[in-house]
Every structure is written in C-alpha cells, then in structure tokens.
C-alpha cells in the first residue's frame, strides 16, 4: 500500500483528475471555492467533468471568490445553460448564492468544518455544513448535490474535497491550505474503485459503500497510518483504475 501511494501520489497524474482545475489558482479562497464546485460535479466521465470545470472557470471569470462575493442577479445570467449530468444552471446559481452566504455569515468554508469537526472525524461537520448551506431559499432537488453522512451517505465527493483542502502533500497534489484541521480526522473518499480494492485487501467487510463502510475503512486505514490515513486513497484508486487489481 505504501509503495502504491508513492507511485500514484504524484503531480503527473493530476492532468486527467478534477483536482487539476483548482490547481489553476493560487489564492486560498479561489482554490477552495472552485475546488468545492469541482468536487460537486465530480462524477461520470472524466473528460466531461474537466470540460465543465473549464466552463465553471469562465462563468466565474477566473476569479471565483470575487465573483461569489460581488455577483449580482444579472451576473448569474452567465450560468446560462450550464449542466453536468443532473447538476444544472439553477443548482449552480444557488451554489454561488450559498457560498456568498457562507463567506459573509459564517467566515468561510474552512471555518464551518473546523467548528463542527470532532476529535475523531469530519463526518458530523459535513452534516452541519449541509444544513447551513441550504438555509437560503432553494429548490428541494438541489439538496441532492451535497451528501449527508447522518443519512447514511458515504459522501464520497465531499470527503474527496476535504482531502484536497486539508491533507499536507509534499508532492503537490493535495493543497493542504486548511491549517486548522488535522489530516488525522479525514475519511477516505469511498467509491466503486476504492471499495472494491479495500474489500480485496481485507480492509473492508461491509458490502455497501455507505457511511458505515466509511467508518470501517477509516478504522483500518488509521491503523496503517494514523497521521495521514487518506493517503491510501491514492493506492486504492490506482490499484483499481490503473492496474485492474
């Protein structure tokens, strides 16, 4: 596992990964905003994800934080006919409004997760984040784009986003810009790839990829490396996606 982490936790692999889009930015707030939006649409065909990520950058005028904070209703017309699978222009407009609310009323994304984390996990903070994020008037359908571990979800995309923001990575893949949260409380983004390999390696018994499975996988990965457990996401994904293990 450690050998595979070293192999796949490399900057050269990010060109076809959704994390490549926030790597276009340098400012903390720009990275975390476009990162959150990219993680929110990170399912389906990778080429489509990246193409739509480029569209998001253009909609936000390559200044995500400035656009979010200073946008007007007219500015939101630039969302136009944006669509990625079931995430549409109305969802994007709400996400932009909600992000403005988060920064103006809750001191930003990092502050929420820092405030509601526990000593062992960020999963309760994800649940609290969702409740805060949807405090504004919104279409009920938009809620499906932010997962809730309390309802049994593995919350794969938001756990991936938290890995990007929190994990300290000497190889320049993950950003590690949220200094107030320790990588020790991160959870592995559990999906078809990581789940399949984790079960083959005896790291996971539960059949469903749900919140209970995330907790079980957390336990075993923290035995392997309590300081940086989610680094094994690289190994689990790589063994499945690149090696068909």
Residue pLDDT, tens place only, 105-147: 999 999 999 999 999 999 999 999 999 999 999 999 999 999 9
106: its two tokens: 């809750």
Q: With a cut of 90, say whether residue 231 has pLDDT above it.
A: yes
Q: Which residues contact 23 (CB under 8 A, 6 or more apart)?
A: 14
When computed from its CA atoms, the radius of gyration of the chain, rounded to whole angstroms, is 17
Q: Quickly list DSSP for 74-120.
A: TGGGGGTT-EETTEEHHHHHHHHHHHHHHHHHSS-HHHHHHHH--SS
Give tens-digit pLDDT for 171-211. 999 999 999 999 999 999 999 999 999 999 999 999 999 99
If pLDDT is split at 50, 70 and 90, which confidence band does 10 have? very high
At 220 the pLDDT is: 98
At 245 the pLDDT is: 83
If pLDDT is split at 50, 70 and 90, which confidence band does 214 have? very high
Q: With a cut of 90, say whether residue 26 has pLDDT above it.
A: yes
Q: With a cut of 90, say whether residue 241 has pLDDT above it.
A: no
43: its two tokens: 């399912």
At 244 the pLDDT is: 83
Q: What is the mean pLDDT of the chain?
A: 97
Give tens-digit pLDDT for 68-94. 999 999 999 999 999 999 999 999 999
Decide: residue 244, CB within 10 A, 0-12 exposed, 13-18 middle, 19+ buried.
Answer: exposed
Phi first, then psi: give them for residue 131, nearest 5 degrees. -65, -35
Q: Give me the mean pLDDT over the 236-245 stretch.
A: 90
Q: Give me the mean pLDDT over the 234-244 stretch.
A: 92
At 238 the pLDDT is: 93
Which residues is 84 bridged to in the sheet?
87
If pLDDT is split at 50, 70 and 90, which confidence band does 148 have? very high
Which residues is 83 bridged to in the sheet?
88
């Amino acid at each position: 596992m450690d050998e595979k982490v070293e192999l796949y936790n490399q900057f050269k692999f990010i060109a076809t990964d959704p994390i490549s889009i926030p790597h276009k930015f340098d400012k903390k707030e720009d990275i975390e905003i476009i990162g959150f939006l990219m993680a929110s649409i990170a399912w389906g065909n990778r080429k489509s994800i990246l193409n739509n990520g480029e569209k998001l950058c253009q909609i936000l005028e390559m200044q995500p934080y400035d656009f979010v904070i200073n946008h007007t209703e007219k500015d939101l017309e630039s969302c136009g006919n944006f669509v990625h699978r079931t995430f549409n222009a109305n969802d994007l407009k709400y996400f932009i409004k909600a992000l403005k609310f988060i920064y103006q009323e809750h001191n930003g994304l990092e502050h929420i997760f820092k405030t509601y984390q526990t000593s062992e996990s960020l999963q309760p903070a994800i649940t609290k984040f969702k409740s805060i994020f949807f405090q504004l008037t919104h279409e009920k359908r938009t809620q499906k784009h932010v997962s809730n571990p309390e309802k049994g979800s593995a919350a794969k995309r938001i756990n991936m986003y938290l890995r990007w923001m929190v994990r300290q990575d000497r190889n320049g893949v993950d950003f590690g810009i949220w200094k107030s949260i320790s990588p020790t409380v991160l959870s592995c983004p559990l999906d078809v790839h990581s789940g399949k390999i984790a079960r083959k390696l005896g790291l996971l018994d539960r059949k469903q990829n749900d919140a209970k499975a995330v907790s079980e996988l957390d336990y075993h990965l923290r035995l392997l490396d309590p300081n940086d457990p989610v680094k094994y996401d690289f190994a689990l994904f790589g063994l499945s996606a690149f090696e068909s293990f």
